[in-house]
Structure 1
Amino acid sequence: MSTTEKMGFQTEVSQLLHLVTHSLYSNKEIFLRELISNASDAIDKLKFVALSDNNLYENDSDLKIQIRFDETANTLTISDNGIGMNRQELIDNLGTIAKSGTKAFFEQLSGDAGKDSELIGQFGVGFYSAFIVADKVTVNTRKAGESEAHQWVSDGHSDFEISTSDKASRGTDIVLHLKSSETQFTNRWQLQQIITKYSDHISVPVELWQDAIAEEKDEDGNITVAAQAGKFEQINRAKALWLRNKSDISDEEYQTFYKHISHDFQDAATWTHNKVEGKLEYTSLLFVPQKAPFDLFQRDSKRGLKLFVQRVFIMDDAEQFLPHYLRFIKGVIDSNDLPLNVSREILQDGAVTQSLRKACTKRALDMMGRLAEDNEKYANFWQEFGNTLKEGIGEDFANRENLFKLLRFASTQDETGNPTTALADYVARMPEKQEKIYYLIADSQTAAKHSPHLEIFAKNGIEVLLMWEPIDEWMMGQLHEFEGKPFEAINQTDISGELFQTESDETDDSDSDKDQYQTLIENIKTTLGDHVVDVRISKRLTKTPTCVVLESGALSNQMQRIMKAAGQAVPKQRYIFEINTDHPLIQQLSTVSESQFADWVTVLFDQALLAENGNLDDAATFISKMNGLLLAGE
């Protein structure tokens, strides 16, 4: 006797179902693509499990997906004879969202239907799209190798019911009880168009029910219906797209396949399809998405390519074939050189795996190199994945030269402030006397653009690369030179040399200038005490009265923040304090009273810290001193 148990959805599922049932997907027919894709995955998983248990099914020709519709009952059924599910798997897969990053996923939801639908597609919960068109869904399933079948029923609201069922064969039947407004999905022509559009590449037959009417004539020659019969007709080509000849595949077919494997709702930005024969035989099809997934930087997010061995599906997220910094790449790899029983442990250190990883990495970087030839498309790519590529500078020494070509930076040469400058472009624009590549890392784009450290460079027409992302400090620690030109941070160096000299500089008596302000410098040192390493006359400032400079090799402010966030002890930062003796405020310092001198110096020093760091440890004291000086009328 069957016992029915009612269970509640996980909170996140309830939220998701609410979004779905309020027409989250802008294109309703997507639900069929998602359900066929899930059925295909179930068959792939059966093939993989059968590698160690050949009693699960007889041969590949038996595997298929079948779709039946009933206009009278207004139902649509999608059936597969894949791996199936047991009771616990029904609960886990259809009642909860077990994938990591669930909380982050919901934090990303904006209320914009189009944007939110893209997130859900990336999240891989396409089963729930059935509730776009159905007011009730019934799932009958039996796991391969097990005798007991189960049924799952829900109206997509707060709960679902589980009971045993009488399904006689392995696999899953999903019955959609369509809403009264969705009768178009019981139209054979409509269903055939959707299958052809979205699922032609599915590697097993997708069959659609075809009604057939048997007719006969009576004695008077009148036609009568003797019987009604029907059959399933295969709609798709049922050949893995990556195994077909590239010249026979349209861009639309590539894009449809990309959406199938990525659960993305947007087209891919670009792709590369390669078949290699010889010492190493494999086929790879790699895609670059247009948008980064919301969980791109989560450590426990699953990433990798779909792995096939001799056309047999092995695993979904084989991360061994691309380095971590290329984790946004989607695609498949089909190898003839790996064993069918390959495991993740074997993949980790295998010679074949390493060869395939090297080849796939080169293919991916070449693909992005071609994308970089289109400035507009590459600007969009860099906005989404630039920070991820930067990780490769320290991870992938073998491909550093190719990565250098892909890096993009904001520059003082470009008024838009966008990171569009390649290192090769910077070097090509360098004056003949310039020997270094100058850069500045700040806390924000605005802070970088308005940094006082840029003043002498602007005066002399010297280009500076601008950075503000947290990863930039780490990346530049790995970069030493490009095309023989060393990198130099302009806030960690003593600006000097012929490059910055002007005619007035050559006639200046620098020693005399230093002597003139020596007393002032000593008094400033005494006032600031151990907050500074040194006080000196600046050669970099032209408009600003003061700035702070890090000693060469000292920890940057960004690196200190990273270390603090990681719970590491950070030594107190001490700066070189530079003064611009041409600025009226510095000239006036020599005339202020002794009682106000300390406040003047402290305020000027704090201003410099504020410009450099974007914040002060003791903002209240700074404000108090500033107000005091303003009231004094100095």
Structure 2
Amino acid sequence: MRAKDTMTTDSAIAAETRAFEADVSKLLHMMVHSVYSDRDVFLRELISNAADACEKLRYEAIADPSLLGEDPQLQITITLDKDAGTLILADNGIGMTAADMGETLGTIARSGTKAFMDRLSADKNGEGQQLIGQFGVGFYSAFMVAGKVDVISRRAGESGAASWSSDGLGTYTLAPVDPAQAPARGTKVILHLLDDAKSYAERYNVERIVKAQSGHVPVPIFIEEAGSDEEARQLADGAALWTKPKSDISKEDYTDFYRSVAGQFDKPALTLHYRAEGRHEYSVLTFIPESKPFDLFDPDRSGRIKLYVRRVFITDEAEILPRYLRFVRGLVDSADLPLNMSREMIQDSPVLSAIQKGVSNRVLSELEKLADAEPERYAAIWENFGAVLKEGLYEDYARRETLLGLARFKTTTSNGEWRSLKDYVFALKENQTAIYYATGTDLERIADSPQLEGFKARGIEVLLLPDQIDNFWTSMGADYEGKPFKSVTQGAADLSLIPLAEGREPTNAAAEDVTGFIDFAKEALADYVSDVRISDRLTTSAVCLVAPDNAMDLQLEKMLASAGRAPERAKPILEVNAGHTLIGKLAQSSANEDERRDLSFLLLDEARIAEGEAPADPRAFVERLERLIAKSL
């Protein structure tokens, strides 16, 4: 664990060496000793941190302009020293106190630490550089190129300054710094480059990296060489990309900006850039990633849209988009929100509410356009984010119709391809009045469910729903074009009016002895099932379980029960295939009453096992099976 922080004020600190938190030490070792295909990532991460520091100062200076002092122009400066083998990256942003450095540079964003290291350890494809920015550990990437890192910082408005220093081998040192040796405000990061990383002190190399990866950060970037008489050269003007006309922005510009704002190294699958005018004016530049962000299923389901007001960064915690669109990355820049409003008050602002509605509708509208114009591109987006978008079917009633139109499904007849509900309804069978679905945890297992047999025999398409959220939105009474959603494991199947597919023979009507056996089983199993009845959904299996009409779907009930959140479970219905050879033989058997009771329970356990559950009483199941085997020998 990290040593306890005993410093209370910068003036009271003395030089102190501390151990990194255990996870940080392990992470540093992994980063330094792992092989990365592109170490350039460190510069982009340090520039992003510096830009964030400048934007934080710009925001705090709204309430306290004195923080800017006599240096109102925020900027980032890179200084190269080939002789000393160093790269220095300095900003005049908000800066840090010693306590800030101990907290932020001695630990990692706690929510992502374990996930990051698990992914890093499992990296087999040289994708490590794509993980760094995603997990809030960008600063530590400096140790991929530096044997030692020094950080000197002074927080805006403070007189004292402090330094942080580490070789990345397990400890770091915090110490006070002579104010004359520290920046007037902001942070200076000094990288003592490793022998095999000295090329990062070469001007041409650094210029190439900055232009390729950080050319659109909203803070000017300058570069200079130590000991040179030349003035610092500007590499980026800090102009906000989202304020420029779309015609002036290349695809590469958008990709570069996406990577800087999203902290990812893939490309955007969809870019949305527009300016809203009218009652409220705001600019939007958002992206849908090409791959899944690591935090897609974080419990808090927070969005990642940054909010600016007239180019001043306000917060990245404003809920611009609903949670089911949390995979969207980017920003919104409002011209109407007041700069002096607190971040908490902004969340309750009617202006923000209007922005939220406008941006959410526009994102969904663009997805609709893409789905119609380029179905293959849209299918790739749905493959990554469909499980999240479906959360909106449960949470956002107002947009449910739109989301149902966007939804894509694997089905019993789609051969692994995605199908829309529009496609499904177009292919409805004669007399079919519902959209049938089956839920579960695995597509193959769902497709093999015995409850689907009667539907397959009639060529009826059934949606296969493997995501947890499917159990919830389907239970909300949703319909599409007047067709309700109906579970194949709930209530009567009502398939008798839908003709069998060509070449399929109808099941023979139940013989009297089969009816008699069903009546006996119904009495024997009365404590475990609500009914035993002849099934019109089974064609090859002997039995299956279904939920009563007014009860919860079997899969939803099972999932809630496993989480300890379900009410008392309803007794299921045992359906019997009257035309199955086994059922016929059981009905005609000369077995005595005890043996018939054993056989009834074995049928129930067979149905439970087919549902992925254990027999209700495993010991009794074994004893019945042993008695049956002994009799057959």
TM-score, normalised by the number of residues in structure 1: 0.91
Q: For the residues of structure 1 that align with 2:70 and 2:351, how far apart are their CA atoms?
A: 28
Q: Determine if contact 1:409/1:467 at 8 Å carries over to the other structure.
A: yes
For residues 135-146 of structure 1, the aligned pairs below 5 Å read 135-146=147-158
* Secondary structure, aligned partner of 2:352: helix
Residue of structure 2 equivalent to 1:446: 444
Give, as a single letter, the amino acid of the residue that structure 1 aligns with 2:553: S
Return the match for 2:47 from 15, 30, 36.
Answer: 36
Residue of structure 2 equivalent to 1:598: 597
Q: Determine if contact 1:201/1:239 at 8 Å carries over to the other structure.
A: yes
Give, as a single letter, the amino acid of the residue that structure 2 aligns with 1:123: F
Q: For the residues of structure 2 that align with 1:434 and 1:354, how far apart are their CA atoms?
A: 42
Q: For the residues of structure 1 that align with 2:506 and 2:193, how far apart are their CA atoms?
A: 88
Return the match for 1:483 from 477, 481, 484.
Answer: 481
Change (3 A) 1:501 1:426: closer
Q: Determine if contact 1:110/1:116 at 8 Å carries over to the other structure.
A: no
Q: Determine if contact 1:455/1:540 at 8 Å carries over to the other structure.
A: yes
Change (3 A) 1:301 1:136: farther
Residue of structure 2 equivalent to 1:165: 177
Residue of structure 2 equivalent to 1:221: none
User: CA offsets, 1:279-306, max 9 Å, x none?
Assistant: 2110001111122233322234643311
Q: Determine if contact 2:432/2:498 at 8 Å carries over to the other structure.
A: no
Shift of 1:535: 1.4
Give, as a single letter, the amino acid of the residue that structure 2 aligns with 1:351: P
User: CA offsets, 1:125-184, max 9 Å, x none?
Assistant: 111111111100010000000011001110011000110112150100100000111121
Q: For the residues of structure 2 that align with 1:611 and 1:501, how far apart are their CA atoms?
A: 27
**RMSD (Å), alpha carbons:** 2.4
Return the match for 1:576 from 573, 578, 594.
Answer: 573
Q: For the residues of structure 1 that align with 2:566 and 2:506, how far apart are their CA atoms?
A: 48
Residue of structure 2 equivalent to 1:349: 348
Change (3 A) 1:115 1:247: same
Residue of structure 2 equivalent to 1:93: 104
Give, as a single letter, the amino acid of the residue that structure 2 aligns with 1:203: P
* Secondary structure, aligned partner of 2:390: helix
Return the match for 1:178 from 173, 178, 193.
Answer: 193
Q: For the residues of structure 1 that align with 2:439 and 2:321, how far apart are their CA atoms?
A: 30
* Secondary structure, aligned partner of 1:536: strand
User: CA offsets, 1:583-603, max 9 Å, x none?
Assistant: 111111121411422222111
Change (3 A) 1:555 1:108: farther
Residue of structure 2 equivalent to 1:127: 139
Q: Determine if contact 1:3/1:163 at 8 Å carries over to the other structure.
A: yes
Q: For the residues of structure 2 that align with 1:470 and 1:622, how far apart are their CA atoms?
A: 31
Q: Determine if contact 1:44/1:313 at 8 Å carries over to the other structure.
A: yes
Higher mean C-alpha deviation, range 235-244 or range 587-596: 587-596
Q: What is the total number of aligned residue pairs between the two structures?
A: 614
Q: Determine if contact 2:134/2:293 at 8 Å carries over to the other structure.
A: yes
Residue of structure 2 equivalent to 1:461: 459
Give, as a single letter, the amino acid of the residue that structure 1 aligns with 2:427: R
1:156 pairs with 2:168 = yes
* Secondary structure, aligned partner of 1:139: strand
Give, as a single letter, the amino acid of the residue that structure 2 aligns with 1:296: L
Residue of structure 2 equivalent to 1:323: 322
User: CA offsets, 1:551-604, max 9 Å, x none?
Assistant: 012123332233334433531431221111211111111214114222221111
Return the match for 1:426 from 421, 424, 427.
Answer: 424
Residue of structure 1 equivalent to 2:216: 201
Q: For the residues of structure 2 that align with 1:506 and 1:126, how far apart are their CA atoms?
A: 65
Residue of structure 2 equivalent to 1:147: 159
Shift of 1:507: 10
Change (3 A) 1:310 1:393: same
For residues 189-268 of structure 1, the aligned pairs below 5 Å read 189-209=204-224, 229-268=229-268
Shift of 1:344: 3.3
Change (3 A) 1:235 1:449: same
Q: Determine if contact 1:76/1:175 at 8 Å carries over to the other structure.
A: yes
Change (3 A) 1:33 1:442: closer
Q: For the residues of structure 2 that align with 1:565 and 1:579, how far apart are their CA atoms?
A: 27
Q: For the residues of structure 2 that align with 1:125 and 1:504, how far apart are their CA atoms?
A: 62
Residue of structure 2 equivalent to 1:311: 311
Q: For the residues of structure 1 that align with 2:544 and 2:438, how far apart are their CA atoms?
A: 14
Shift of 1:627: 4.1
Higher mean C-alpha deviation, range 591-600 or range 543-552: 591-600
* Secondary structure, aligned partner of 1:50: helix
Return the match for 1:542 from 539, 544, 561.
Answer: 539
Q: Determine if contact 2:487/2:553 at 8 Å carries over to the other structure.
A: no
Give, as a single letter, the amino acid of the residue that structure 2 aligns with 1:18: H
Change (3 A) 1:57 1:628: same
Residue of structure 1 equivalent to 2:8: none
* Secondary structure, aligned partner of 1:285: strand
* Secondary structure, aligned partner of 1:209: strand
TM-score, normalised by the number of residues in structure 2: 0.92
Residue of structure 1 equivalent to 2:282: 282
Give, as a single letter, the amino acid of the residue that structure 2 aligns with 1:421: R
Q: For the residues of structure 2 that align with 1:277 and 1:81, how far apart are their CA atoms?
A: 34
Give, as a single letter, the amino acid of the residue that structure 2 aligns with 1:336: A
Q: Determine if contact 1:413/1:463 at 8 Å carries over to the other structure.
A: yes
Q: For the residues of structure 2 that align with 1:193 and 1:506, how far apart are their CA atoms?
A: 72
Shift of 1:611: 1.3
For residues 490-569 of structure 1, the aligned pairs below 5 Å read 490-496=488-494, 499-501=497-499, 513=510, 515-568=512-565
* Secondary structure, aligned partner of 2:287: strand
Q: For the residues of structure 2 that align with 1:171 and 1:508, how far apart are their CA atoms?
A: 81
Q: Determine if contact 1:557/1:613 at 8 Å carries over to the other structure.
A: no
Higher mean C-alpha deviation, range 4-13 or range 515-524: 515-524
Residue of structure 1 equivalent to 2:5: none
Give, as a single letter, the amino acid of the residue that structure 2 aligns with 1:587: G
The percentage of counterpart residues that share the same residue type is 40
